[in-house]
């Protein structure tokens, strides 16, 4: 197994503005919202040589197999408010919101995706009764395309990479179509900023579970990175006073655009093809609005090969946690980091640390999951959750 490890030379003390408490209230009104589970996993702690490993498992979030709906739902809502020029209140649940927005129809949401974000946007469009057009890169596997279609969206396969799909989706914006992208470009920043804000709910849930169970706050947090929007939310949370943790970002070796940018000292592009099985992380360019938080806030960057992700999926299955290829990246990355001499020298106290791993998706490609893990995801039993 191969890994590339960088201690971030651009790291600086920052205190990003904390997101508004309105977001939690918004998510509470979403269908089937409830906090996802936090697991305390002694077997992984033993394996990694740390005091405690906590796993926040986004295997099932509002009925979808990844965390992405948290950002997509909030960003869609705020973009609609901007489009209307007012907030479509009052509404207590999604049906009432859909009724308040019915006058907009026919109306469309569009975005590009590597899988999970697009499915989440398609899910929002279906709930609101809007049309939806999702653009995917050429090498997207059929199971993921079908999952997006199952939400009623039109899926267009773009002959190119994820970055090409992003460029194509941007052309859709118009008087009856909102583009809900999780990455930003010049002149398109408000909606991807809202996507980042929406992810705050995950970290607030972790805090609540830790407070309720009397565990220690994490000393080290490992986060998978694609365009870096999720990491920007992690940096926002774990750079607040009283929440400081060592932040580790994980990418695939051939799509390590955040690591390459940190090494170059500025935003850099990692050209495709990006062929990793960690498909949610197959991005060639970090989101420009995330970059200030990525460059100043991350402590260590780790890129790993696909075999590391496969092994992490099996390790998580062995302790009863279902993680898809992308979802297992945090464990794959922290496993590689733990063995690194520079890390061992810098983090001499890691043996006493509580490590939080963000498992950001479940079995988003069930066939591939069964092949890698050796059994279907539905047969993986649960360990007991902290909360």
The site for ligand PLP (CB under 6 A) is made up of 66, 68, 114-117, 182, 224-231, 280-281, 326-327, 360-361
* Minimum CB distance to ligand PLP smaller for 226 or for 333: 226
137, 122, 276, 188: CA torsion to nearest 10: 70
Q: What is the separation, in whole angstroms, between the first and last Cα of the chain? A: 34
Cβ closest to ligand PLP, residue 75 vs residue 97 = 75
Nearer to ligand PLP, 48 or 229 (CB): 229
For residues 220 and 246, the answer to whether their CB atoms sit within 8 Å is yes
Measured distance CA(326)–CA(67) in Å, rounded: 12
> Which residues on neighbouring strands pair with residue 249, listed in sequence order?
223, 301
Of the candidates 258, 253, 280, the one whose C-alpha atom is nearest the C-alpha of residue 269 is 258
CB of residue 166 to ligand PLP, shortest distance in Å: 11
CB of 217 to ligand PLP, least distance (A): 22
Least Cβ distance, residue 271 to ligand PLP (angstroms): 18
Count Cβ atoms within 10 A of the Cβ of residue 191 and give its class: 0-12 exposed, 13-18 middle, 19 or more buried.
buried
- Return left, alpha or beta for 63; rule: phi > 0 is left, psi -120 to 50 is alpha, else beta: left
Q: Which is nearer to ligand PLP, 19 or 107 (CB)?
A: 19
CB closer to ligand PLP out of 224 and 333? 224
Burial of 73 (0-12, 13-18, 19+ CB in 10 A): buried
Q: Of the two residues 147 and 227, which places its CB atom closer to ligand PLP in the complex?
A: 227
User: Least distance in Å: CB of 265 to ligand PLP?
Assistant: 20
Minimum separation from the CB atom of position 376 to ligand PLP (A): 19
CB of 117: closest distance to ligand PLP in angstroms?
Answer: 5
d(CA 247, CA 223): 8
């Amino acid at each position: 197994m191969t890994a590339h490890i960088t201690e971030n030379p651009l790291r600086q003390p920052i205190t990003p503005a904390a997101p508004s408490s309105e977001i939690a209230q918004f998510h509470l009104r979403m269908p089937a919202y409830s906090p996802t589970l936090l697991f305390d996993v002694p077997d992984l702690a033993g394996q990694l040589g740390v005091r405690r490993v906590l796993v926040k498992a986004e295997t099932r979030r509002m009925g979808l197999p990844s965390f992405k709906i948290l950002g997509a739902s909030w960003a869609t809502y705020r973009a609609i408010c901007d489009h209307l020029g007012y907030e479509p209140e009052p509404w207590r649940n999604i049906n009432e919101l859909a009724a308040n927005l019915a006058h907009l129809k026919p109306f469309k949401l569009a975005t590009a995706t590597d899988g999970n974000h697009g499915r989440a946007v398609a899910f929002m469009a279906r709930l609101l009764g809007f049309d939806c057009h999702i653009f995917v890169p050429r090498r997207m596997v059929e199971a993921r395309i079908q999952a997006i279609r199952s939400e009623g969206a039109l899926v267009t396969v773009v002959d190119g990479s994820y970055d090409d799909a992003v460029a194509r989706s941007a052309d859709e914006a118009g008087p009856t179509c909102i583009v809900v992208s999780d990455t930003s470009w010049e002149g398109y920043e408000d909606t991807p900023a809202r996507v980042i804000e929406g992810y705050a709910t995950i970290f607030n849930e972790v805090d609540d579970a830790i407070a309720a169970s009397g565990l220690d706050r994490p000393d080290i947090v490992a986060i998978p990175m694609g365009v870096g929007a999720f990491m920007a939310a992690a940096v926002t949370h774990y750079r607040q006073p009283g929440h400081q943790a060592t932040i580790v970002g994980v990418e695939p070796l051939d799509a390590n655009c955040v690591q390459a940018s940190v090494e170059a000292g500025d935003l850099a592009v990692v050209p495709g093809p990006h062929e990793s099985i960690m498909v949610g992380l197959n991005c060639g360019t970090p989101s420009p609005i995330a970059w200030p938080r990525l460059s100043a806030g991350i402590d260590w960057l780790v890129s790993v090969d696909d075999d590391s992700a496969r092994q992490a999926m099996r390790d998580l299955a062995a302790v009863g946690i279902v993680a898809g290829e992308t979802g297992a990246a945090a464990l794959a990355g922290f496993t590689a980091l733990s063995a690194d001499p520079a890390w061992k020298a810098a983090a001499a106290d890691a043996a006493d640390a509580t490590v939080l791993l963000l498992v950001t998706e479940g079995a988003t490609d069930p066939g591939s999951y069964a092949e890698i893990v050796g059994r279907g995801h539905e047969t993986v039993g649960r360990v007991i959750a902290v909360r």
